[in-house]
Amino acid sequence: MNFPERNRSFKPPKELKDYPVGTAFPAGHLVDTNAAWRSLRPVIDAIKCSNCLICWLLCPDGVIHRNSEGGLEIDYDFCKGCGICSKECRQKAIRMESEGE
């Protein structure tokens, strides 16, 4: 997976128009990767996914991104496995699976 925004530094917004749309900053603003305590991880089924972006909007860590093909992908380095994306997905396109699978 390619996450081009990962290495940028955080710059606080100066004006209202500079704030991101959504509830969280994109991944890359988090400073620590997941410390391997996650037991479940979300997996997106690209066939079922309608790209409604509800998961992107509700992800508290901002780890869901559009890939170059227009689908969605998850940055597992920063995902904590909370399952909000899976619970809120209307298409049931995101399932939580054991970290070891």
The ranges assigned to domains in the chain are 39-101
pLDDT digits (tens, 9 = 90+) for 27-40: 555 666 776 788 99
pTM tops 0.95: no
Domain 39-101 carries which CATH code? 3.30.70.20
Contacts by 50-54 with C-beta closer than 8 Å and gap 24+? 50/90, 50/91, 50/93, 52/90, 52/91, 54/88, 54/89, 54/90
Do the Cβ atoms of 62 and 21 come closer than 8 Å?
Answer: no
Predicted confidence (pLDDT) per residue in 42-86, tens digit: 999 999 999 999 999 999 888 999 988 989 999 998 899 999 999
